[in-house]
Amino acid sequence: MLKANALGCDRGNRELFSKLTFELRPGSALKISGPNGAGKSSLLKILAGLWQPSVGSVTWRGQPLVSGDPVFLTQLFYLGHQPGIEPLLTPIENCQWQLGIGSASAIDQRTDKICAALQALGLQAFANIPCERLSKGQCQRLALARLWIQPPLLWILDEPYTGLDEIGRDLLCKRVLEHVQQGGIVVMATHQQFDDGAILWQQIRLETVPC
């Protein structure tokens, strides 16, 4: 479904990676690892359609990825380095606007659904406090809240475990497992080692080339 054909990326004068080809079908998961600066975030941004690759192309259901294609974007959840949370708004308000401009139906945007998701993430007690007063880990959990309310088909997550404590990590691991078993696709850049053999992860390791 998601196919990368001979992807290459140049950043500045450095070539980050080249001739990267892989395919992800429903129910598959890809883990991208590598040292800092190897190009993991760049690869994820290219897969999400945020950046254009220098060489090669990405196709979704056989069609080349066009920036701004609503059909693709309704099926995408992307989490970058920053959580994408407004510090001055409460968790409920943040979820409301994220769902409002995302692909959620009106039912999924209801406050009770949002509260249920916050409860699953352990943020129920902080639901009406501005996010600037939450800890980094709590903000990271909030950034993932959409995955509990209305999860799209394709998840692209850049270091999602940053700042999460053990409980948070468990929650996310379980959620990812559920999603893949239900036929979703997960692409993740992480240093986290997985103990569960329940998902067969495809692995890509990017290396930096010494100058």
Ramachandran area for residue 19 (φ above 0: left; ψ -120 to 50: alpha; else beta): left
x/- letters, 95..124, toward other proteins (CB under 8 A): -xxx-xxxx--x------------------
Q: Tell me which of 28, 42, 138, 140 binds other proteins, using CB under 8 A.
A: 42
Please list every residue from 48 through 77 that binds other proteins, using CB under 8 A: 48-52, 54, 67-68, 70, 73-74, 76
Q: What is the DSSP letter of 182?
A: T
* Comparison of 28 and 75: residue with beta carbon closer to other proteins: 75
**Secondary element (H or E) of residue 93:** helix 91-101
Query: Distance between alpha carbon 171 and the CA centroid of its chain, in Å?
Result: 15
Q: Binding of other proteins at residue 211 (CB under 8 A)?
A: no
Long-range contacts of 138-141 (CB under 8 A, 24+ apart): 139/83, 139/85, 139/163, 140/83, 140/164, 140/168, 141/168, 141/171
What the block records as the tokens of 166 is: 């053990």
Q: Which stretch binds other proteins (CB under 8 A): 41-49, 161-169, 175-183, 202-210?
A: 41-49
* Comparison of 50 and 167: residue with beta carbon closer to other proteins: 50
Shortest gap between Cβ of 120 and other proteins (angstroms)? Answer: 21
Residues that bind other proteins (CB under 8 A): 9-11, 42, 48-52, 54, 67-68, 70, 73-74, 76, 78, 80-89, 93, 96-98, 100-103, 106, 130
